[in-house]
Chain A
């Protein structure tokens, strides 16, 4: 590794800005909309909608954060 004191060529004006970041709003907003999922039916494998829908939102969270990670990855 190079001497940590040596001024390396740091790219100018780095940024985390990306339109993909807006996707992160989906898994933040979805679980907050209780009227959307606060129901017993339809049931899935015996699970009321309230439960399986929120389990589904976990998946939505995984998918969106994965997309944002891949699309904004540097190098």
Chain B
């Protein structure tokens, strides 16, 4: 531990700095009345281009991504680079979708995707399913942020033998995070995101210039990686793709892209922006992070070239591949700069964790508490419930990591990405058409979810010795095709979901089943800043100087 003292000091100082910022954030762009879900949960719906860029960037590109993607490249090579096409496709794909979602939410004061579905399809049941899917998909994602921090702490040697000693730093970090999120709401991660992203950009720029300089240039880094993969028995690794994993690469990139903006925390970031132009402009500014992610991913190869050996995992005989990048920094950088890099990753975990817990809390408040438990809840009560729920969510995430095998959270997050995709027909398609019947959407969701679970159950993982939930690459031979190609589970199941929803819609229509009343109008999908709002209690929130 003593050899890491400089790193620990730098890490701790930066961590304390952002914690201070988190508490001060409550007074940043201070509202007249914080006791409103629009203020606590959406930062007053007033963020401009820059804040949105930092906030959404800090939200989508999480600490876990920053340690897990290079780890994947380290282990499997080109297949792990899917993160780049994934984050290229996402912005043009959602360009036209998000502005419609923003407009209709602005007009009606929707806080969550389930709010929209409730009003559009006139179905509290469908909204409940969307809300539960969102919460279930988000929870393990928060837990994974802790794994990001843990990878860094482990590398610095801040790990004890007992369960408590090992997890004490994470429990303290999350307690501080919980406290300032409770107080400042979405303003806290928005402000911290500035520091986090600045640190990340500096670290990566230095890393991609300095590391090749030390390791003999990018050419020899790639050659070292190629030599490693040639020597390995795994047929599917390598610095380019092979015939078997190309379909998986494409469908994983497309499926993940479609899923990302369906996650409640991404939608929270988008709805917090002040107008449509902020969103549109960010669709071309956010790819700067994709560039960063791509460079970071390649550090997995730099780790191969510099001979990094991942630290042992939680169970006997396993390795924790998430420690690959932290170890690389520890090995190659001077101690003080490694400290900065670790702080960047550690703080990087706090921003998304805060937004995710806010988003999950909002879903609970709006679509479960207000819908089923207390229909006449005032905005102040809503804000209160959300604040408390955000604490519960974080305690749950910490408990997941402390009491369960971390692998469990990783499996859940894998499932999470696939189940959140099952909300696409209602949320994404629902923004354009109401053709699908609400009950058809429910049946489609049920079938899509069941099929996803079955397919994931079937997938073994030879590397970790697991028989089930071993990954998201489904062998097409299971469907009777004579091939060793694989495909992304979510891609298949969302298509089946959609087909089932369409068929059931036709049947229900033939039976003349009531479709409910659309609570939105055509023009709602084009509303912009300054347009009148419909919900009376959010009208108060618009009456502020910054939104005129």
Q: Which residue of B lies closest to A65 (CB)?
A: B284
| Least Cβ–Cβ distance between A56 and chain B, in angstroms | 10
| Least Cβ–Cβ distance between A19 and chain B, in angstroms | 13
Alpha-carbon separation in the docked complex, A16 to B88 (Å): 22
Assess the A32–B85 pair: CB atoms within 8 A.
yes
Assess the A50–B254 pair: CB atoms within 8 A.
no
Alpha-carbon separation in the docked complex, A56 to B294 (Å): 11
Interface of B: prevailing SS? helix
Number of interface residues of A (CB under 8 A): 47
Alpha-carbon separation in the docked complex, A72 to B89 (Å): 20
Assess the A38–B246 pair: CB atoms within 8 A.
yes
Task: Decide yes or no: A32 and B291 within 8 Å by CB, A1-B547, A68-B95 being known contacts.
Answer: no
Alpha-carbon separation in the docked complex, A40 to B542 (Å): 54
Q: Choose from A46, A48, A73 the contact partner of B220 (Cβ within 8 Å).
A: A46
B548 interfacial by beta-carbon distance below 8 Å = yes
Task: Decide yes or no: A65 and B95 within 8 Å by CB, A5-B532, A34-B246, A50-B240 being known contacts.
Answer: yes
Task: Decide yes or no: A54 and B81 within 8 Å by CB, A16-B100, A27-B88, A61-B92 being known contacts.
Answer: yes
Taken residue by residue from 211 to 232, chain B's Cβ proximity to chain A (1 for < 8 Å, 0 otherwise) reads as 0100001111110000000000
B99 interfacial by beta-carbon distance below 8 Å = yes
Alpha-carbon separation in the docked complex, A6 to B533 (Å): 10
Which B residues contact A (CB, under 8 angstroms)?
Answer: 78, 81, 84-85, 87-89, 91-93, 95-96, 99-100, 212, 217-222, 239-241, 246, 249-250, 253-254, 277, 280-281, 283-284, 287, 290-291, 294, 298, 522-523, 526, 528, 530-533, 539, 542-545, 547-548
Which A residues contact B (CB, under 8 angstroms)?
Answer: 1, 4-8, 10, 13-16, 21, 24-28, 30-32, 34-35, 38-40, 43, 45-48, 50-51, 54-55, 57-58, 60-62, 64-66, 68-69, 72-74
Known: A45-B219, A69-B277. 20 other contacts (CB 8 A): A1-B548, A5-B532, A5-B539, A10-B532, A14-B526, A16-B100, A16-B526, A27-B92, A31-B84, A32-B253, A40-B239, A48-B239, A50-B81, A50-B239, A55-B84, A58-B84, A60-B88, A65-B92, A73-B277, A73-B280
